[in-house]
C-alpha cells in the first residue's frame, strides 16, 4: 500500500514551529507583520485571503488586509506598495492574484521590496534561489520540499521530473529539488513523448492545472507522486472517469455538484510508493510556508 503524504499534518507542525518562533521574537520586541492586498471581489480570492489573515491571528503575527476597489489603477497600486515598503512594522507584502486585467501585475510584483517578498516572486529572489543564496522561496514549492523532508523521502540522487514550468511552482520546484541533490528534468507542453520521461521519475511533480492529466501509464511503479494541481470538476462524465465506484467522492459530488481533483489521475496513485492526495496534500502547506516566510523575512531584515 502506498503511503499517503499528509500535508495537513505537516502544515500543522510547521505552524506550531512558526508560533514558537513568533513568541521568541516577541521577547526581542519583534512582531512579524504581513500586509495582504486584495483587489475586487473575486470569491475564491476572498476565501483564500481570509485563511491567510486567520492564520496570522492564530500564530500571533501582525496582519493587515487592504482592499482597493476593482477600479484601482496601476499607479495607485504602486503608491500603495511603496508605502508598505517604507513601513517598519510590515515584514511581508502579498498581492493576491489574479488582479484586474487593467492593472500591470508584473510591474506591481517587481515593485515589492525583495526583502518583503514573502511570495518569492521577485526577480531578485528568483536569482538568489538559483544561486543557492538565502532567499524567500515561493510558498508552494517550498512546502513540497518540507513535505518530502519531513516524510523522510530521499531526494539526493533521485531522478525528479517536474511537469510544468511556471515561475510560481514549476521552475522554483525544480531549483529546490536540484539544491537537494536530485537530478531534475523539467517538462512542459512542448515536451515530446512526455510519458517516456515521466516513467523515469523517482519523484514526479505535477503542476500543470489539467485534471487527471498524468495517467497510470505515465508513472513508474514505486515512484513518489507530488500532485500540486487543484482543479474543480462538475462534469458528471469527468467524475465517472476519475472516481467511478468511490462512494466517499460520490457523496461529496452529489451534495456539492463538484469535487476537487489534482493533475494526476487517482488511479495512478495505486502504483506509487507515496503520494499527495487532493485535497489534503500540497494545498495546506502553501499558507503554512507563507507564515514561515513572513517570520523569516522579519528575521532577515533585522539580521537575526
Residues 150 and 277 in one domain: yes
Catalytic residues: 52, 96, 119
The CATH number that applies at residue 116 is: 3.40.50.10860
User: Among residues of the chain, what percentage have pLDDT more than 70?
Assistant: 100
Residues 92 and 150 in one domain: no
Q: Tell the residue number behind the cell numbers 512594522, with chain if given.
A: 89
Domain count, the chain: 2
Residues 88 and 210 in one domain: no
In a domain, 7, yes or no: no
Residues 155 and 110 in one domain: no
In a domain, 293, yes or no: no
Look at residue 44 in the predicted model and tell me its pLDDT: 79
Residues 202 and 64 in one domain: no
The CATH number that applies at residue 196 is: 3.40.50.720
Each residue's pLDDT tens digit, 58-93: 999 999 999 999 999 999 999 999 999 999 999 999
Each residue's pLDDT tens digit, 147-191: 999 999 999 999 999 999 999 999 999 999 999 999 999 999 999
Residues 247 and 222 in one domain: yes
Look at residue 30 in the predicted model and tell me its pLDDT: 96
The model carries a pTM of 0.94
Cell of 253: 459530488
Cell of 211: 485534471
3-state helix/strand/coil string of the chain:
CCEECCHHHHHHHHHHHHHHHHHHHHCCCCCCEEEEECCCCCHHHHHHHHHHHHHHHHHCCEEEEECCCCCCCHHHHHHHHHHHHHCCCCCEEEECCCCCCCCCHHHHHHHCCHHHCCCCCCHHHHHHHHHCCCCCCCHHHHHHHHHHHHCCCCCCCCEEEEECCCCCCHHHHHHHHHHCCCEEEEECCCCCCHHHHHCCCCEEEECCCCCCCECHHHCCCCCEEEECCCEEECCHHHHHHHHCCCHHHHHHHHHHCCEEECCECHHHHCCCCEECCCCCCCHHHHHHHHHHHHHHHHHHHCCC
Look at residue 40 in the predicted model and tell me its pLDDT: 85
Residues 281 and 159 in one domain: yes
In a domain, 3, yes or no: no
Residues 115 and 211 in one domain: no
Report the DSSP beta bridge partners of residue 186: 162
How far from chain centre, in Å, is Cα 72?
27
Residues 71 and 152 in one domain: no
Q: 49 is in which domain, residue-wise?
A: 28-122
Instruction: Say whether pLDDT at 261 is over 90.
Output: yes
Look at residue 121 in the predicted model and tell me its pLDDT: 94
Task: For the chain, give the mean pLDDT.
Answer: 95
φ/ψ (deg, to 5) at 276: -100, 125
Residues 190 and 100 in one domain: no
In a domain, 304, yes or no: no
In a domain, 300, yes or no: no
Amino acid at each position: 500500500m502506498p503511503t499517503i503524504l499528509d500535508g495537513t499534518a505537516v502544515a500543522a507542525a510547521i505552524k506550531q514551529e512558526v508560533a514558537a518562533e513568533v513568541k521568541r521574537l516577541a521577547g526581542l520586541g519583534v512582531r512579524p507583520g504581513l500586509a495582504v492586498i486584495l483587489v475586487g471581489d473575486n470569491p475564491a480570492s476572498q476565501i483564500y485571503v481570509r485563511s491567510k489573515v486567520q492564520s496570522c491571528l492564530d500564530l500571533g503575527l501582525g496582519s493587515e488586509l487592504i482592499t482597493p476597489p476593482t477600479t484601482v489603477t496601476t499607479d495607485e497600486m504602486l503608491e500603495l506598495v511603496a508605502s508598505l515598503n517604507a513601513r517598519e512594522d510590515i515584514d511581508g507584502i502579498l498581492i493576491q492574484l489574479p488582479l484586474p486585467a487593467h492593472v500591470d501585475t508584473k510591474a506591481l510584483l517587481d515593485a515589492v521590496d525583495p526583502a518583503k517578498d514573502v511570495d518569492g516572486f521577485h526577480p531578485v529572489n528568483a536569482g538568489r534561489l538559483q544561486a543557492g543564496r538565502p532567499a524567500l522561496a515561493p510558498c508552494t514549492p517550498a512546502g513540497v520540499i518540507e513535505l518530502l523532508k519531513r516524510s523522510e523521502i530521499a531526494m539526493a540522487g533521485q531522478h525528479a521530473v517536474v511537469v510544468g514550468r511556471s515561475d510560481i511552482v514549476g521552475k522554483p520546484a525544480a531549483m529546490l529539488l536540484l539544491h537537494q541533490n536530485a537530478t531534475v528534468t523539467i517538462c512542459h507542453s512542448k515536451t515530446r513523448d512526455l510519458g517516456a520521461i515521466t516513467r523515469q521519475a523517482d519523484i514526479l511533480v505535477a503542476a500543470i492545472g489539467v485534471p487527471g492529466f498524468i495517467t497510470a501509464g505515465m508513472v513508474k511503479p514505486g515512484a513518489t507522486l507530488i500532485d500540486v494541481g487543484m482543479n474543480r470538476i462538475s462534469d458528471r462524465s469527468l467524475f465517472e472517469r476519475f472516481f467511478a465506484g468511490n462512494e466517499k467522492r460520490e457523496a461529496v459530488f452529489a451534495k456539492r455538484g463538484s469535487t476537487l481533483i489534482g493533475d494526476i489521475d487517482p488511479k495512478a496513485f495505486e502504483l506509487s510508493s507515496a503520494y499527495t492526495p487532493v485535497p489534503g496534500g500540497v494545498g495546506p502547506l502553501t499558507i503554512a510556508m507563507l507564515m514561515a516566510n513572513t517570520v523569516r523575512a522579519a528575521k532577515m531584515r533585522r539580521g537575526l
